Amino acid sequence: MSDRSAPQIDLDQLMGELHHLATISDCPESPPAVTRVVFTETDLKAREYLRSLYEQVGLVVRVDPIGNTFARWEGQDPTAPAVGTGSHTDAIPHAGMYDGTVGVLGGLEAIRSLMRSGFQPQRSIELVMFTSEEPTRFGVGCTGSRAMSGAMTPAQLTALVDEAGADYDAVRQHAGFTGELSAAQLPADHFHAFVELHIEQGPELEASETPIGIVTAIAAPATVEFLVTGEGGHAGAVLMPRRRDALAAAAEMISSIESLALESDSADLVATVGKVDVHPGAVNSIPSRVGFSLDLRDIDGNNRDRVAEAIAESTDEIATRRGVTVERRMLNCDPPAQCDPTVVNAIARATKQLGIDSCEMISRAYHDSLFMARIAPMGMIFIPCRGGVSHRPDEFSSPEQIANGVQTLAITLAELAS
Ligand code: GLV
Ligand code: MN
Ligand code: MN
């Protein structure tokens, strides 16, 4: 057997590690429901567990000032730009156990399988665990990879605050991550290539019974915060014609957002309001203030922007008609990213070598790779997940599906690092 044909995956070990990581969770139903929010005790415990696994196989661990963690397998040419892989281990509230983790622990198993095969990388291989891919705490996702790629400056990072009013800089320091924020940015030539393994989070691979998806582009995400202000009052005493109910206005706005998304020319456009905060939040009090979030995405960034504009007009009109005010704050509005043909082709060759089917596809979810594409030729390997379900506790990919992904990743890494 050549050092690159069919790497032997220790699936029992990998599945054991995935299940153990899932128990490090703030969700009372854990496992398998996972809640792991960045810079909490739980996040720190998960990081400790990963470090112990990295050290067991002699990877050299480096942690940057915001907690992005690099576990490095030194190549024969340590000065050559490295080949990167990895993903995230933070999890949104009440999530599943495979989102992100398959790319981190699967990346580790890919490296271990190459080590066991006697393969010697020419370039170093670095396994990255990105800080805060999920937007749960600070409203913006991928802060680790944004900082790494220069897509977000230290001042922009510091301007992010959590619900308790603590800013990103203070929270990361409290969690034990210190040093200049600017040091998180990587030199443009740090990575020779970057490849991320992830569950698809959609139904296409399962429906077509294709074991591997080769991503060609990642859709463009935007996040907008809305604040609707009306007038509060007594639920019994204020008659309907006199009301300026912030929640009734917000409800009409949310309904109009759904209609505009459905009417959009693009079948790929998706709009989600996933969070609503009502003030004062009492049964017998008219809501005076409502905040809600909008997550808006399309493969075509221009179409996404056109719909964002239509939503702004429509919510202004609703506010005026109802005598309330609406403020909008764009938290992020990112362009889509293209995968690089060198990585795409390396993944395709890996699947051929393994004799498994693959297809090219778009990633509708965003990933840290969206930002890694700014500093490295980037590619992504998708595996199916049951029913296309993700961001839910019943998220599931089978051990065999995971093994296909890890083997594909191992061969791809070996080619890119040779
Ligand atoms: C990533 O978690 C996404 O929301 O696409
Ligand atoms: Mn996710
Ligand atoms: Mn993810």
CB 365 less than 6 A from any atom of ligand 1 = yes
Residue 361 has φ and ψ, to the nearest 5°, of -155, 165
In the reported structure, the alpha carbon of residue 245 is separated from the centroid of ligand 1 by a whole-number distance in angstroms of 32
Which pLDDT score is estimated for 265? Answer: 85
Q: Structural domain of residue 54, as residue ranges?
A: 11-219+336-416
Q: Which ligand is nearest to the CA of 92?
A: 2
Same domain flag for 191 and 104: yes
CB 177 less than 6 A from any atom of ligand 1 = no
Q: Answer yes or no: is 100 within a domain.
A: yes
Rounded Cα–Cα distance for residues 363 and 87 (Å) = 15
| Crossing angle for the helix pair 41-56 and 101-116, to the nearest 10 degrees | 10
Which of 291, 314, 333 is at the close of a domain?
Answer: 333
**Environment class of 280 (CB within 10 Å of its CB; exposed 0-12, middle 13-18, buried 19+):** exposed
Q: Answer yes or no: is 1 within a domain.
A: no
Which pLDDT score is estimated for 5? Answer: 67
In the reported structure, the alpha carbon of residue 295 is separated from the centroid of ligand 1 by a whole-number distance in angstroms of 10
Distance of CA 156 to the CA centre of its chain: 19
In the reported structure, the alpha carbon of residue 319 is separated from the centroid of ligand 3 by a whole-number distance in angstroms of 35
Amino acid identity of residue 195, one-letter, is V
Same domain flag for 170 and 293: no
Which pLDDT score is estimated for 29? Answer: 76
Closest CA to 376 of 222, 196, 221: 196
Q: Answer yes or no: is 72 within a domain.
A: yes
β-pairing verdict for 325-333 and 220-229 = antiparallel
Residue to substitute in 132, 270, 304, 367 for testing ligand 1 pocket (most ligand atoms within 8 angstroms of CB): 367
In the reported structure, the alpha carbon of residue 200 is separated from the centroid of ligand 3 by a whole-number distance in angstroms of 9
Please list the rounded mean pLDDT of every run of 10 residues in the chain (418 residues).
69 98 89 92 98 98 98 98 98 97 98 97 98 97 98 96 96 98 96 98 98 97 97 98 98 98 93 98 98 97 97 98 98 97 98 98 97 98 98 97 98 98
Which pLDDT score is estimated for 28? Answer: 78
Same domain flag for 215 and 231: no
Same domain flag for 115 and 74: yes
Number of domains, the chain: 2
Same domain flag for 328 and 385: no
Which pLDDT score is estimated for 260? Answer: 98
Closest CA to 48 of 63, 28, 34: 63
Same domain flag for 101 and 115: yes
